[in-house]
Amino acid sequence: MPEPNKFYVTTPIYYVNDKPHLGHVYTTMVADVVARYHRLRGDDVFFLTGVDEHSTKVVDKAAEKGLTTEAWAEQNATAFRQTFEKLEMTNDDFVRTSSDHHKRKVTEYVAALLKSGDVYEGEYEGWYDAGQEEYVPENKAKDNDYKSEVNRKPLVRKKEKNYFFKLSSYVPALLDHFEKHPTFVQPDARRNEIVNRIKEAQDVPISRTGVGGWGIPVPGDPEQTIYVWIDALFNYLSYVDTPDRRGYWQSGATHFIAKDILWFHASVWPAMLMALRKCDGYDWVNLPAQVYSHSYWVSESGAKMSKSLGNFLDPAAIDNYVAEFGLDALRYFLATRGPLSVSDSTFSPDLFIKTYNEDLANTFGNSCSRVANMIGKYFDGVMPPVHAEFDDNQNSGAETNDDGDTTDSFPIHLDGNEGLGIRPSHSGNLLAVAIGSSRHYRTAINETNLTVAAERALRIVRGVDTYIELKKPFSLAKDWEQNERQVATVLANCAEALRIASVLLWPFIPDACEKFWKRIGCDYAAQMAANGGRGRLDEWTQWGQLKPGTPIEKGDALFPRYDPNK
Ligand code: ME8
């Protein structure tokens, strides 16, 4: 057996100044869908999320609450961990920047950079956004009337003695990297913005004074604390900087973040890695493969959902959605209707219900029930055989593309539902629909185009519905003697197509798919568990694997229809 590919995926580490909200859940959910897809493909995945503790926001909020900083950080770190556990995120570790391992590693990295001369001592004066803990360049500050772009509070003029990282000297190397790796930052529009800003990059402070000992001291100068952003970025490396995990780093990390923090991830971070790589003992440090910067969830009024704005869906509200619709429904909605593209998304309860009913209840759930019910009714709940003389699928090669497209191209990141409707009915060749759609699904998901990927899987389900309308097994069954073999063939093909759709949908709606697998006698979940969590996507999406004679269980509705007037 060849070694599986390694795949390393991360989320931002979240500030523990407050409890988690929908925005944090979103990025972690997206990373989780992508992690599960890679595991399903058979990759050896490492998925990292966690919390960023050494922020002055945490110190201030703790003081406001009358708690020690440690106690407040602990309380919120626990809330993040529990929220992600409850939402069945499959992260392989959980970062806490207060951990000894992380602190030791960051100290080592900064010491190496100091020694190499890429970090030097100097003085900095500029406009500071306290909410974002970030200096804002003069032109950007001016464009925003010297207010924070995020929370609109006035910027403050600040002057400090600091250690600086020579970002300016890495500008040519960064631009070269962007040119050679056109998908280093995605989506494209974000890359273009950042490339323009990098051209003007100046050296950046990497330490702070006067943060009251909350953070990691600069090695050799305990008066200075390593700037929280530098401390935080290093989490991606520190947590896999162990002999057994280094291979994940070297496989090229995929960082999911939102647009607010792209600058650090696309400039300071790769430049620091380039600098570190030149230091003794760090020649194994390469650059991340991709920084994927999504947009925001906004409330219906258009404001960014955030902790400081107080308009976020908090853990209790998230729990309510899960209680009402199920975890799969929340996963599906966030992953497919979220702001992965350059536009923001509105979290609207109406859209949530509509998506749930249309895609999950009326499409996947309904089709699974319908086919299982007919197999129950006509074949006593036992998978019927395919009879070659009635099988429209038999003559088509697996490469046929009969899903309505003539090429592999399709719109990237559909923001609404445009173009996602049912295609003109196919020729009755479900095999071609399944094979064509699963190919398109892979392209889409590899490009983090989760909306299109899920839609491709659903296209198979819609194909089943169209096929049933076309073949009318219920009418055929009226003349049983004449048509039994044809009814058997139609229903066997439907079950087979739904099996393939369920494999593709698993990263999005794992609980429902695993339930369905049990009902159709597929032990994929057990196979994955026995194989270190890794699946066999290629094999499982081949046509013709459901064995005749297998019991097919009806079960209850996977996604009961939700009454919007409730
Ligand atoms: O920035 N819509 O932490 P943070 C979508 N600690 N995503 C959102 C969102 C929204 N309305 N609000 C937040 C930090 N997010 C630093 C990161 S990483 C080395 C250090 C998500 O708690 C999104 O992923 O402010 C965003 O980048 C992140 O939460 C910011 O979380």
**Could you give the percent of the chain with pLDDT greater than 70?**
92
Is residue 50 domain-shared with residue 177, that is, in the same domain?
yes
CA distances 104 to 88, 99, 218, 277, Å, are 30, 9, 11, 18
**Residue 57 falls inside a structural domain:** yes
Query: Beta strands 6-15 and 156-165: pairing type?
Result: unpaired
Tell me what the mean pLDDT of segment 502-511 comes to. Answer: 98
How would residue 480 be classed by pLDDT, with cut points 50, 70 and 90? very high
Which residue carries 């049912």 as its tokens?
A: 422
Count the neighbouring beta carbons within 10 Å of the beta carbon of residue 469.
9
Is residue 522 domain-shared with residue 421, that is, in the same domain?
yes
Tell me what the mean pLDDT of segment 261-273 comes to. Answer: 98
- Whole-number Å distance between alpha carbons of 322 and 330: 7
Q: How far is the CA of 241 from the centre of ligand 1 (A)?
A: 24
CA distances 385 to 341, 461, 470, 495, Å, are 44, 20, 20, 11
**Residue 558 falls inside a structural domain:** no
Q: Whose CA is nearest to atom 30 of ligand 1?
A: 14
Q: How far is the CA of 110 from the centre of ligand 1 (A)?
A: 25
pLDDT for 416 beyond 70? no
The DSSP-derived string for 431-476 is HHHHHHHHHHHHHHHHTT-HHHHHHHHHHHHHHHHHHHHHH-HHHH
**Residue 35 falls inside a structural domain:** yes
Q: How far is the CA of 47 from the centre of ligand 1 (A)?
A: 17
CA dihedral 336, 48, 258, 457 (to 10 degrees): -10
pLDDT for 167 beyond 90? yes
- From the CB of 26, is ligand 1 less than 6 Å away? yes
How would residue 31 be classed by pLDDT, with cut points 50, 70 and 90? very high
Is residue 374 domain-shared with residue 451, that is, in the same domain?
yes
How would residue 349 be classed by pLDDT, with cut points 50, 70 and 90? confident
Query: What are the DSSP E strand ranges found in 36-118?
Result: 44-52, 93-96
- From the CB of 306, is ligand 1 less than 6 Å away? yes
- From 14, 133, 235, mutation site for ligand 1 pocket: most ligand atoms within 8 A of C-beta: 14
Q: How far apart are the first and last CA of the chain?
A: 53
**Residue 288 falls inside a structural domain:** yes
The CATH number for 408's domain is: 1.10.730.10
- From the CB of 52, is ligand 1 less than 6 Å away? yes
Count the neighbouring beta carbons within 10 Å of the beta carbon of residue 99.
16
Of 302 and 100, the structure prediction assigns the larger pLDDT to 100
pLDDT value at position 278? 98
Residue 124 parent element (H or E) = strand 119-129
Q: How far is the CA of 216 from the centre of ligand 1 (A)?
A: 22
- From the CB of 15, is ligand 1 less than 6 Å away? yes
- Whole-number Å distance between alpha carbons of 319 and 141: 39
Reported as a single tens digit per residue, the pLDDT across 419-443 is 333 343 345 689 999 999 999 999 9
Reported as a single tens digit per residue, the pLDDT across 99-141 is 999 999 999 999 999 999 999 999 888 899 888 878 888 888 9
**Residue 554 falls inside a structural domain:** no
**Residue 136 falls inside a structural domain:** yes
Is residue 267 domain-shared with residue 393, that is, in the same domain?
no
- Whole-number Å distance between alpha carbons of 507 and 336: 12
Q: How far is the CA of 465 from the centre of ligand 1 (A)?
A: 40
- Whole-number Å distance between alpha carbons of 266 and 180: 14
- From the CB of 261, is ligand 1 less than 6 Å away? yes
Name the least confident of 242-246, 405-409, 545-549: 405-409
- From the CB of 23, is ligand 1 less than 6 Å away? yes
pLDDT value at position 163? 96
Q: Comparing C-alpha atoms, which of 446, 549, 435 is closest to residue 507?
A: 446
Is residue 252 domain-shared with residue 307, that is, in the same domain?
yes
Q: Comparing C-alpha atoms, which of 347, 496, 358, 378 is closest to residue 434?
A: 496
Tell me what the mean pLDDT of segment 500-523 comes to. Answer: 98
- From 9, 10, 17, 27, mutation site for ligand 1 pocket: most ligand atoms within 8 A of C-beta: 27
371-375: long-range contacts, CB 8 A cutoff, minimum separation 24:
371/464, 371/468, 371/491, 371/494, 371/495, 371/498, 372/495, 372/519, 372/520, 372/552, 372/553, 372/554, 372/555, 373/554, 374/473, 374/474, 374/491, 375/491, 375/495, 375/552
**Residue 547 falls inside a structural domain:** no
pLDDT for 414 beyond 70? no
pLDDT value at position 402? 43
Count the neighbouring beta carbons within 10 Å of the beta carbon of residue 217.
16
pLDDT value at position 210? 77
Q: How far is the CA of 454 from the centre of ligand 1 (A)?
A: 25
CA distances 390 to 112, 358, 384, 436, Å, are 71, 32, 13, 22
- From 18, 58, 151, 261, mutation site for ligand 1 pocket: most ligand atoms within 8 A of C-beta: 261
Q: Whose CA is nearest to atom 14 of ligand 1?
A: 14
pLDDT for 209 beyond 80? yes
Gyration radius (Cα) of the chain, Å: 26
Q: Is 375 helix (H, G, I), strand (E, B) or coil?
A: helix
- From the CB of 27, is ligand 1 less than 6 Å away? yes
The CATH number for 145's domain is: 3.40.50.620
Is residue 356 domain-shared with residue 321, that is, in the same domain?
no
Count the neighbouring beta carbons within 10 Å of the beta carbon of residue 564.
11
Reported as a single tens digit per residue, the pLDDT across 384-394 is 999 988 887 75
Q: Whose CA is nearest to atom 23 of ligand 1?
A: 258
Domain of residue 531 covers 348-540
Quote the Cα angle for 26-76-245, to 5°: 65
- Of 299, 328, 357, the residue that ends a domain is 328
Atom of ligand 1 lying closest to residue 339 CA: 5
Name the least confident of 43-47, 256-260, 427-431, 553-557: 427-431
pLDDT for 398 beyond 80? no
- From the CB of 378, is ligand 1 less than 6 Å away? no
How would residue 521 be classed by pLDDT, with cut points 50, 70 and 90? very high
Q: Is 426 helix (H, G, I), strand (E, B) or coil?
A: coil
Q: How far is the CA of 31 from the centre of ligand 1 (A)?
A: 13
Q: How far is the CA of 80 from the centre of ligand 1 (A)?
A: 13
pLDDT for 310 beyond 70? no
In the chain, the number of structural domains is 2
pLDDT value at position 1? 73
Which residue carries 């003992």 as its tokens?
A: 281
Is residue 225 domain-shared with residue 181, that is, in the same domain?
yes
Q: How far is the CA of 274 from the centre of ligand 1 (A)?
A: 25
- From the CB of 460, is ligand 1 less than 6 Å away? no
Q: How far is the CA of 257 from the centre of ligand 1 (A)?
A: 7
Is residue 207 domain-shared with residue 77, that is, in the same domain?
yes
- Of 293, 328, 363, the residue that ends a domain is 328
Q: How high is the mean pLDDT of the chain?
A: 91
pLDDT for 342 beyond 50? yes
- From the CB of 258, is ligand 1 less than 6 Å away? yes
Atom of ligand 1 lying closest to residue 344 CA: 2
**Residue 240 falls inside a structural domain:** yes
Is residue 55 domain-shared with residue 191, that is, in the same domain?
yes
- Whole-number Å distance between alpha carbons of 84 and 168: 38
Is residue 289 domain-shared with residue 383, that is, in the same domain?
no
Q: How far is the CA of 58 from the centre of ligand 1 (A)?
A: 15
pLDDT for 409 beyond 50? no
Is residue 285 domain-shared with residue 408, that is, in the same domain?
no
pLDDT value at position 303? 67
Is residue 189 domain-shared with residue 321, that is, in the same domain?
yes
Of 376 and 350, the structure prediction assigns the larger pLDDT to 376
Q: Comparing C-alpha atoms, which of 65, 89, 70 is closest to residue 16?
A: 70
Q: Is 564 helix (H, G, I), strand (E, B) or coil?
A: coil
Q: How far is the CA of 25 from the centre of ligand 1 (A)?
A: 10
- Whole-number Å distance between alpha carbons of 185 and 269: 12
pLDDT value at position 306? 57
Q: How far is the CA of 145 from the centre of ligand 1 (A)?
A: 24
